[in-house]
Amino acid sequence: MTVHTPIDQTNAKSVLVDLTKCIGCGSCVVACKMYNKNEWVDHRSPATGEKALLADENWTVVQTHRVADEKGGEAWRYVKRQCLHCKEPACVSSCFATAFKKTDSGPIAYYPNLCVGCRYCMLACPFSIPKFQWENPLPMLTKCSMCADRLANGDAPACVTVCPTNVMEFGRYEDMLAEAKKRLADSGDKYVQHIYGEDEAGGTLWLYISDKPFESLGFKMNVPKRSLPSHTKDYMKNTPIVGGIWLAILGCLYFFTKRRSAVKKKEETESPPK
């Protein structure tokens, strides 16, 4: 596990997702696949509908959920899912090969040339986002990169640009969080008074607001509020010291063992034959 060093989030980019506006058209899914040149894997994991799942080729999906309405009937809600891009990502902290890195603009980028396929990131992620290419003879990890290269040029992620109903709004993190709070405050009882991603796992760059409880829409509600890397950074900062001590101990043992072998060999050589 690498030592966690938070970067300045002042200019981090963010996406606010208003689930009350989503009609489930799947335009964001198509844009994601086209931009990242990902194939459709509906035979394994559909990218839209009630059975939509994130997969090695599905970096963005739109899930359909049936929820109860105010009159006791049934309503449909659509949820766009992708990597939430944590402010203090566990995948980055757990990757000793540094294949996952936090960029200055906020997204978590993946560098396959550095990946050793250990899959520690899959175990560390509180949202179960990274996926492994099980059917690839040379497998790697995959996930949404939030179109980090587009953000570096000042452009919004591909999925945001094609949404016909303006479900997603892109901008600075502080501005998107303020906008989310404003909508909740001004809406009366339209929205659930919870911004998903404000506190989960220490905060994420993708923020969600909804008129239905998040637990009814498949969101993980048992995610700790404190970021996972913050639990280990106080211990991990001592890793170089502990490593140095162990090297010293092993060095002494090696020297002692080698010295003892040399003395024994000398005694055997100098002792008179019987």
The CA distance from 19 to 73, in Å, is 19
Domain residue limits, the chain: 13-231, 238-270
235 confidence band (pLDDT: 50, 70, 90): very low
Per CATH, which fold does 13-231 belong to?
Alpha-Beta Plaits (3.30.70)
Whole-prediction pTM: 0.81
- Per-residue confidence (pLDDT) for residue 129, from 0 to 100: 97
- Per-residue confidence (pLDDT) for residue 229, from 0 to 100: 75
Query: φ, ψ for residue 259 (rounded to 5)?
Result: -65, -40
Who's near 92: CB < 8 A, 6+ residues apart? 2, 4, 100, 101, 102, 108, 229
Question: Please, which contacts does 114-123 make with residues 24 or more away whose CB atoms are closer than 8 Å?
Answer: 115/140, 115/141, 117/141, 120/1, 120/94, 120/95, 120/96, 121/90, 121/91, 121/94, 121/95, 123/94
- Per-residue confidence (pLDDT) for residue 247, from 0 to 100: 62
What is the tens place of the pLDDT at every residue in 147-186? Answer: 999 999 999 999 999 999 999 999 999 999 999 999 999 9
Cβ-contact 188, 109 below 8 angstroms: no
- Per-residue confidence (pLDDT) for residue 188, from 0 to 100: 87
226 compared with 34, residue with greater pLDDT: 34
